[in-house]
Amino acid sequence: MIVCANFKANKTRQETHAYMAVVESFVSANDISDTVIVFPPFTALGHEQRNILIGAQNGYPVRNGAFTGEIALEQLEEFGIGTILIGHSERRHVLGESQKFIAEKFRFFAEKGFAIVYCVGEPLEVREEGNDALMAYIEKQFEGIDLEYADLVIAYEPVWAIGTGLTPSLRDIELIHGALRAKTSAPLLYGGSVKVDNAREIMGLENVDGVLVGSAALSANDFCEMIAQAAELGASGR
């Protein structure tokens, strides 16, 4: 299983270090072999990577240059960052990134050998049109994306489920993940209002290889609990 925490623009550097200390001790004390990735804000990327991967929430697709306010390859490499989140719904819908630009980022960071967690997901109005419309929408989010890329993880995150407390039914998650599985052999994460109370049943579904968690992962103890659930499912052969 792969268990990821996306902090977004939350937590200071100091708070991130304290959080990481809790999660790192939990992972070593419990011999966790599942992959744990934390995406902190850029200011906290300097935390040494021990038994948890630290990923960047974003990156500009150049080595360096005149891109005010952005962070590029050189700055990520300085901290040993080799994992990046691309296509998150907040970058698409709040910050206005186009599929063309997202695909350019994907190509750049894939060429540099990054592990990429690539997010896709539909807004509510598309979901209401039914499954064919939903899959056609997601298909467009795969334009310019190499689904055969070796270090790829796909996160299915319905836009309407992110930060809202709403989730699709388990049956719907299984259905979409089944359709995604037919397109790629990359591990498939579900994201969108995952919390301690629903993580286990979601991770137990077919073709769900882990979760990407925002708000509920801001508590180190809750995140550890979700890691424990992932490990238990793994141990039980799921």
Binding letters toward ligand PEP, positions 159-178, x by CB under 6 A: ---xx---------------
Q: Which CB sits closer to ligand PEP, 73 or 116?
A: 116
> What is the DSSP track for the chain?
-EEEEE-TT---HHHHHHHHHHHHHHHHHTT--SEEEEE--GGGTTS--SSSEE-BS---SSSS-S-TT---HHHHHHTT--EEEES-HIIIIIS---HHHHHHHHHHHHHTT-EEEEEE---HHHHTT-HHHHHHHHHHHTTT--TT-TTEEEEE--GGGTTTS----HHHHHHHHHHHHTT--S-EEEESS--HHHHHHHHTSTT--EEEESGGGGSHHHHHHHHHHHHHHHHTT-
Q: Which CB sits closer to ligand PEP, 24 or 157?
A: 157
Q: Does 57 bind ligand PEP (CB under 6 A)?
A: no
Tell me the catalytic residues.
Answer: 88, 157
Q: Does 204 bind ligand PEP (CB under 6 A)?
A: no
Candidates 213, 220, 228, 231; binder of ligand PEP (CB under 6 A) is 213
Candidates 35, 57, 141, 193; binder of ligand PEP (CB under 6 A) is 193
Give least dist CB 33 to ligand PEP, A: 24
Q: Which residue's CB comes closest to ligand PEP?
A: 214
Q: Which CB sits closer to ligand PEP, 144 or 163?
A: 163
Q: Does 212 bind ligand PEP (CB under 6 A)?
A: yes
Residue range at the interface with ligand PEP (CB under 6 A); choices 42-50, 92-100, 137-145, 190-198: 190-198
Chain positions contacting ligand PEP, by CB under 6 A: 6, 157, 162-163, 191-194, 212-216
